[in-house]
């Protein structure tokens, strides 16, 4: 069995736990590999996180940002999230229990009894391009983010017009991402058990309230009078497009697969600032 490990960058506690986990895996004849940034912290050889799709399990040690980074490389491989004292919507395992939980997942995999849950992702596409899938949100905004950088935007759901006005941008968010950028822009919290997407306009002149739509809905954002527009996935992948243009955002065929225990959504809410 091959296990990929990603530790939060610049966090020595995460790096030490990654090293201890690697040693524990070696004792049960499981191969452990670490991403390049974690390898640099530990002074060992690492591999690109993009190669983690060849693993049987990925362990993310840190916060939700580390989990999202690991998920991009895992590409469908089950992920076990270890929470280092942050909000932890995606990371259900405490550091004290991390090694035991990892070894339990190894045993379950070998016995054919591993339990995995799927969490939806979304993907943005244009006329001749497609972005990587996003677990939290896709944002469409004007030439720059924030005041004075907006554009005229038209938002449709399954072809029906919902809103059209000048705005800083539009967020389309999964339930997992509702507590992130969406929340800071006035969007609602969505329980992970809800199968829906949230559409939230950002500082719209004459916008509509945030809207929850079915998980399988197609949301299109048409950008008109702007020199350029930017599409951003999970705050990491960016694409500049030339208006007038239509961006289609919908459920991805590639969900994130979660291993291990389930986090307590309401307990995690208590850690929000």
Annotation: binding site: 64-65, 136-137, 166, 168, 176, 179-184, 203
Greatest alpha-carbon span in the chain: 61
108 and 218 share one domain: no
Residue set of the binding site for NAD(+):
64-65, 136-137, 166, 168, 176, 179-184, 203
Answer yes or no: do 26 and 48 share one domain. Answer: yes
Do residue 126 and residue 115 come from a single domain? no
Same domain, 61 and 127: no
Give per-residue burial for 78-100: e unless 16+ CB within 10 Å, then b: bbbbbbbeebbbbbbbebeebbe
Q: Tell me, yes or no, whether 139 and 228 share the same domain.
A: yes
Per-residue pLDDT of the chain (273 residues; tens, 9 = 90+): 999 999 999 899 999 999 999 999 999 999 999 999 999 989 999 999 999 999 999 999 998 889 999 998 998 999 999 998 676 678 889 999 999 999 999 999 999 989 899 999 999 999 999 999 999 999 999 987 666 678 999 999 999 999 999 999 999 999 999 998 999 999 999 999 999 999 999 999 988 999 999 999 999 999 998 889 999 999 989 999 999 999 999 999 999 999 998 877 887 777 676
- pLDDT in the model for residue 121: 97
Query: Residue 126 belongs to what domain range?
Result: 122-251
- 76 and 190 in a single domain? The answer is no
Do 113 and 189 fall within a single domain?
no
Does residue 106 sit in the same domain as residue 156? Answer: no
Residues 156 and 235 in one domain: yes
216 is known as an active-site residue: no
We report the CATH number of the domain holding residue 202 as 2.60.200.30
- Are 24 and 112 contained in the same domain? yes
As for how many domains the chain has, the answer is 2
Catalytic residue (one of 35, 64, 75, 234): 64
Q: Which residues pair with 249 in a beta bridge?
A: 124, 219
Kindly state the DSSP code that residue 7 receives in the 8-state scheme. E
Measured distance CA(120)–CA(175) in Å, rounded: 9
């Amino acid at each position: 069995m091959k296990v990929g490990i990603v530790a939060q960058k610049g966090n020595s506690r995460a790096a030490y736990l990654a090293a201890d986990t690697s040693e524990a895996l070696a004792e049960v004849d499981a191969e452990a590999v670490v991403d390049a940034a974690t390898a640099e912290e530990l002074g060992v050889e690492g591999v690109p996180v993009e190669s983690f799709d060849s693993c049987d399990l990925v362990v993310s040690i840190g916060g939700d940002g580390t989990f999202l980074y690991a998920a991009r490389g895992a590409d469908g491989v089950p992920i076990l999230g270890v929470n280092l004292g942050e909000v932890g919507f995606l990371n259900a395992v405490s550091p004290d229990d991390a090694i035991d939980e990892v070894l339990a997942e190894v045993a379950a995999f070998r016995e054919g009894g591993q339990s995995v849950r799927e969490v939806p992702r979304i993907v943005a596409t244009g006329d001749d391009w497609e972005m990587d899938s996003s677990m939290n949100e896709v944002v469409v905004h004007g030439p720059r983010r924030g005041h004075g950088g907006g554009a005229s935007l038209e938002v449709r759901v399954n072809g029906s017009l919902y809103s059209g006005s000048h705005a800083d941008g539009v967020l389309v968010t999964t339930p997992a991402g509702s507590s992130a950028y969406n929340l800071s822009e006035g969007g609602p919290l969505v329980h992970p058990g809800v199968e829906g997407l949230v559409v939230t306009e950002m500082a719209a002149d004459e916008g509509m309230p945030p809207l929850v739509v079915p998980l399988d809905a197609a949301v299109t954002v048409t950008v008109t009078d702007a020199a350029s527009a930017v599409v951003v996935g999970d705050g990491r992948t960016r694409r500049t497009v030339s208006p007038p243009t239509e961006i289609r955002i919908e459920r991805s065929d590639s969900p994130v697969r979660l291993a291990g225990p389930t986090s307590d959504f309401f307990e995690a809410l208590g850690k929000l600032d």
